[in-house]
Structures are given as structure tokens and as C-alpha cells.
Amino acid sequence: MNSERDQVLTMLAKGKITVQDAELLLDALKIGEKREQKNETAVPQTPKAPQFVTQPRPVRPPHDPRYITPAYAEAIADAGLPNLSKDQLWRLQMHHVTAVYVRNLLKLNLPELDIESIIQFAIHHIQPEYIADFQALKLGDLTINDIVRLGVHHVRPEMVRELRDLGMNDLDIDAVIQLGVHHVRPEMVRQLRDMGFNNLSIQQIVQLGVHDVRPQFIQKLRELGLGELSIDQVVQFSIHNIQPEMIHALHNAGFEQITVDEIIHCGIHDVRPRFLHKMRHFFPNIGLDRIVEMKIQDVTPTYAKEMLAYGFPDLDSRRLVEMRIHGLTPAYIAELNEVEFSDLTAKNLIQLKIHGVTPRYARKMREVYGGELTAVKLIKLWINGEIVPTPQKAQSL
């Protein structure tokens, strides 16, 4: 500012400006100095942020997954179930039990009807009209459990009415449930009647259902020429999985005159066509009883093939069964074969095994007796306890 003042005074001295002009300029310079001094000492002010007034959020109650609306609780109470707990109301609501549903159930006057029963009815979609239809059939006193079982197995009132039309007038609730459980429907009973089964008891019909015996199965058996089968025989066929194909195989194997009881006997012991054909291949004249015995004693086709490979002339089906019973194995026979007996037959092998003669003992005795040792002599040595026989004893034998 001093330099600017000096410039004004110089201009005044040279006459370039008047005294009045000089005074105005100097006054202006003084005002500028004062403003600069004020700006240097002032603290800059930060503008304040605008203030917003916020309202506090209302506190929400925690979420209740079992929330029951007052309207639902009131409706259930008006339907006839007052004073229920929150848990009971929630379970009814969860299974979509309505006040109308409750009111209609209570009208049926079911004994021991409680919340659990109502819930079970709802779970299995058992409607009040369904229960009323069964009450009208007068099958006896219906319990809650009876009604649930009827619903679970989809037993319809119409089924009972149709069965009665077929003459089954002695039905009770247990019989109806059993028929329903095992899928016995009126059409099945009607077909059985058409096949000549006119006097079947409810228990017999239930047994057919239990073992999944259908009229079509009985018809196929009849077409095989088995005559008039009883219900018990048909049930046995089903129990032991005796199918028409198995009976065909028995006929084709030469057993055309096989009886029903023999067929059942084969089924009981799991004699199947594959097993039968293989044994018939090994022993063409074998009887059915022997084949069944082989199956019982676990004489497999593989075992038969291995034993027959040794070529014993006296090995027939009976001896083969005996060999299996006494535990003769291919390994045992192979070791005895190495001893080279001249009289090693299936019969002698069985005797050797029965008396517990080991291959080691046979080799030892061969060293002592040489070529005089036979299978029969070996058995006698073992029976007489000749563990280390002397040469004199060997001569006497």
C-alpha cells in the first residue's frame, strides 16, 4: 500500500492530478487497507449441515411362527371346541382344520373324539360325510382307529355295499379293513364266483388277498391241467412262488403226471427249472424225489459235475447225495487218488470219510504195505487203530 501512496503523491507533485483527486485516491487506499486487515484476522466459518428431525421407529414384536388369529380361535370355539391351548389351535390351523369341519365331526357323536383324532382325520383327508356313510352301514361300533384305518387304505362305503350285494352279509369292520388292506375288491370276488368258488369264507378271500392271488393266476394254473385246485393249494403256490412257467418246465422234463402236492414240495425246497434240467442232464432217469433231496442237501450242479469227472462206476444220484452229506470234497478225493488204490469207488470213498481216514494216513500206510494196500484194507487198519503197523501185522491183514 505504501508504494501506491507514493505514486499518488508523485503524481500530485508533478501536477498530473489535483489536490482533491489526490485526497480521494488516498482515502480509497486507506479503506482498502482496513478491509485487508479485517480479512486476515477473520476465522473462516464452515457452513452448518441442515438439521433433520427423525421420529423413532416403533418396536415390532418378534415373529411368532405359531401365531393364531383371534378370528380363527373364536371360530373354533364357536364350533364346539372352547378353551383350547395355543399349541392345540396352532396344530389344527397347520392341518387346515376349519370350524365347519369341526362342527360337522362333532355332529357324528363319535366316542372319544379329541383333538388328536381330528388332526388324524385331517391328515388322511377323512371327511365327516365319509364317516357318516360308514355309520349308516352298521358294521358295528366304529372306533377312531377303525375310521383312520379305513381312510388310510382307501376303503370306500360303495365297496361294502357291492360286497353285500354279492351275498357277503356277515361283514364286520375288521373284515372290511382286511379286505381293503389287501386290495380285495368286489370285482375280484365276482370273478372268483364265476370260476366256481361260490362258498368262500371271508377268511379265505382275505388269504387270497394277503398272498396276492388273483383270479387270473388261478385261471392260468387251471389251463395247465392241474384240475380243480383248492384255495389252500392256490395259496401255497403263491407263497412258494410257483409260477406257471415252473410247472411247464416240470412237464417238459418228463414229469407230466406230477401231482399238485409234488409241485408244492418242489416249490417249498426251491427246485427251479434250471436246477431240474441240469440234474436230469447228469442223471437222465432220476426221479423227482431224488432231485428234491439233492436240493435239500445242497448237491449243486457244479458239485455233481466235479464228482462225476472222477469216473467212479458206482456213482449214481443216491451215492452223490451220500457223498455230499458226509462232506466229501474234490480236494479230498484228489489226494486219495494220488495214493492209487485199485478199488477206490464212490462207496469206499464214503466209508473212508465216515471213519475219518485222512489222505496223510493213506500215504503212510502205502509206504508200509506197498501195492498190497487197498481202500478196504485201509479202512480196516484205521478201525483197528493201526497207526504204526509192524510188517508182521501187515502180513496178517
Residue 73: per-residue pLDDT: 94
Supply angle C-alpha 380, 384, 390, rounded to 5.
Answer: 95
With residue 281 as reference, give the H or E element that holds it. helix 273-282
Angstrom distance (rounded) from CA 208 to CA 222? 16
- What residues have CB less than 8 Å from 394, skipping those under 6 apart? 368, 369, 372
State the DSSP code for 111: T
DSSP 165: H
Cα separation, 192 vs 190, in Å, equals 5
**Sequence-ordered list of residues with C-beta below 8 angstroms from that of 39, at least 6 positions apart, any chain:** none
244-252 vs 273-282: helix crossing angle, rounded to 10: 10
pLDDT for the residue 120: 96
Domain ranges of the chain: 1-29, 68-135, 153-229, 322-397
Task: Say what the pLDDT of residue 20 is.
Answer: 77
pLDDT value for 132: 96
Residue 144's nearest CA partner among 186, 116, 102, 163 is: 116
Amino acid, single-letter form, for residue 225 = G
Q: Which residues contact 115 (CB under 8 A, 6 or more apart)?
A: 81, 84, 88, 91, 92
C-alpha separations of 287 from 38, 211, 256, 296, 301 in Å: 136, 31, 13, 15, 16
pLDDT (0 to 100) of residue 4: 77
On whether the CB atoms of residues 135 and 142 are closer than 8 A, the answer is: yes
- Give the Cβ contact number of residue 336 at 10 Å: 23
Q: In terms of residues, how long is the chain?
A: 397
Owner of C-alpha cell 435239500? 296
pTM over cut 0.95: no
User: What is the structure's pLDDT at 135?
Assistant: 95
> Nearest 10 degrees: CA dihedral of 220, 222, 224, 226?
140
Supply the pLDDT for residue 256: 85
Per-residue pLDDT of the chain (397 residues; tens, 9 = 90+): 567 777 877 877 777 788 777 777 777 777 777 766 666 555 555 666 566 566 677 666 666 777 888 999 999 999 999 999 999 999 999 999 999 999 999 999 998 899 999 999 999 999 999 999 999 999 988 999 999 999 999 999 999 999 999 999 889 999 999 999 999 999 999 999 999 998 899 999 999 999 999 999 999 998 988 888 899 999 999 999 999 999 988 888 888 888 999 999 999 999 988 899 899 999 999 999 999 999 999 999 999 999 999 999 999 999 999 999 999 999 999 999 999 999 999 999 999 999 999 999 999 999 999 999 999 999 999 999 887 555 555 555 4
